[in-house]
Amino acid sequence: MPVTCRNRKRHADDAPAVHDSVDAVRACFLAEQIWTCDWQVPARNDEDGEDYAVDCGGLAWFLPDDRGYTCEYGHEHIHAEVRRRERWDYAADPQEAGLLAGRGIQPVAMNGGGIDIDPQAMRYAASLPG
């Protein structure tokens, strides 16, 4: 649900902006640093039907405790050191998820959700030394 933000100091044109969430408005007022989310999202050219990727463009800010960052549209990135310490990592597909699981690392989909695990990749990774 769009929320009007009246923080004129943070918007270049000195006019109210609309953010996608109350959290985004809160970040706009309180976050030390904000920027435009550059998470790649799919787009489609209606003229020729071609698919391509564009930057999200939403308001982004750091998460508490230096864990990573998020944006008003829910794109989130957790820093590698945090993922390592918590023994999980992002996986782009079931094969990568299997390789991570075979090494004792919890795989997480790129969108932060669950992901299928390729059992062959998991067995292969588990058989590697070290």
**Dist CA 71 CA 77 (whole Å):** 9
12-17-19-23 Cα dihedral, nearest 10 degrees: 80
Q: Looking at 20-29, 58-67, 71-80, 95-104, which range is the least confident one?
A: 20-29
pLDDT in tens, 10-32: 666 655 677 777 888 888 878 88
The answer to whether 85 and 34 are in contact (CB under 8 A) is: no
Domain coordinates of the chain in residue numbers? 1-78, 87-130
Q: What is the mean pLDDT of residues 96-115?
A: 94
Task: Provide the pLDDT confidence category of residue 64 given band limits of 50, 70 and 90.
Answer: confident
At residue 53, the pLDDT reads: 93
Q: What is the mean pLDDT of residues 91-112?
A: 95
**Dist CA 108 CA 89 (whole Å):** 6
